[in-house]
């Protein structure tokens, strides 16, 4: 599903192929599917051949049609790298960082997967965010580096105002996000 075109063609892979595969993961996470998903064939080899053909014939513009330009720019950059080229990782990170800033997202370092754990509440000794007067108190999480524990340690809390129904939404492509 996420393999680079070079991988399908049996060519030796390099950093460019890893980045291209990551690009397909990003498209999948944004869109929820890829155009070559669900293709059927009698044998695995035939299925992989169909996937390769679909990837070769799907332009980046059509793959990323409902997405911000940064996604197609990223994939074009990856596909234009030569085998021995060292990718400009700073440039690639900046592409998405600029998108993040342009849409006024807040870098609070509290991620959805952490909030899900905290929403479980006291049933399994987790801490729930507290909603008071349209403000969510969210824990600031520190990890125990010595034991590499996945269990978060709450150092303090931070507050985030919740979005009201009449508050405008931020859009990336056709996806709505709360600011």
Q: What is the pLDDT of residue 42?
A: 92
Based on the domain organization, do 94 and 10 belong to the same domain?
yes
- In a domain? residue 153: yes
Q: What is the pLDDT of residue 103?
A: 87
pLDDT at 168 over 50: no
The model's pLDDT over 89-146, given as tens digits with 9 standing for 90+, comes to 999 999 999 999 998 888 888 877 777 766 665 444 444 444 444 455 555 444 445 5
Based on the domain organization, do 157 and 132 belong to the same domain?
yes
Which domain range does residue 60 map to?
5-102
What's the structural domain count of the chain? 2
Q: pTM, whole model, 2 decimals?
A: 0.63
Looking at 59, 76, 102, which one is the last position of a domain?
102
Any alpha helices (H) in 2-158, and if so which ranges? Answer: 5-8, 15-31, 44-57, 60-63, 69-80, 89-102, 112-119
> In the structure encoding, which two tokens stand for residue 90, read together?
């700073």
Looking at 64, 84, 102, which one is the last position of a domain?
102
Query: In whole angstroms, what is the distance from residue 108 CA to residue 144 CA?
Result: 19
Contact 154, 128 (CB under 8 A): no
Based on the domain organization, do 93 and 128 belong to the same domain?
no
The model's pLDDT over 50-80, given as tens digits with 9 standing for 90+, comes to 998 999 999 999 999 999 999 999 999 999 9
Looking at 80, 102, 124, which one is the last position of a domain?
102
**Residue 1 pLDDT level (bands cut at 50, 70, 90):** confident
Nearest to 5, CA basis, from 23, 17, 22, 19:
17
pLDDT at 3 over 90: no
- In a domain? residue 72: yes
Return the higher-pLDDT residue of 158 and 63.
63
């Amino acid at each position: 599903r996420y393999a680079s075109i070079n991988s399908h063609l049996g060519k030796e892979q390099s950093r460019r192929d890893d980045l291209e595969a990551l690009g397909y993961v990003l498209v999948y996470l944004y869109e929820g599917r890829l155009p070559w998903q669900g293709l059927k064939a009698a044998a695995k080899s035939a299925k992989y051949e169909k996937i390769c053909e679909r990837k070769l014939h799907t332009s980046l513009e059509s793959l990323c049609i409902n997405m911000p330009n940064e996604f197609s720019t990223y994939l074009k950059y990856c596909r234009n790298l030569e085998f021995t080229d060292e990718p400009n990782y700073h440039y690639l990170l900046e592409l998405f960082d600029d998108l993040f800033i342009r849409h006024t997202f807040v870098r609070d370092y509290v991620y959805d997967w952490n909030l899900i754990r905290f929403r479980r509440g006291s049933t399994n000794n987790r801490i729930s965010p507290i909603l008071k007067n349209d403000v969510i108190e969210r824990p600031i999480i520190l990890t125990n580096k010595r034991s590499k524990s996945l269990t978060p340690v709450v150092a303090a809390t931070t507050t985030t105002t919740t979005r009201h129904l009449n508050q405008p939404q931020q859009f990336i492509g056709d996806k709505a996000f709360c600011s």
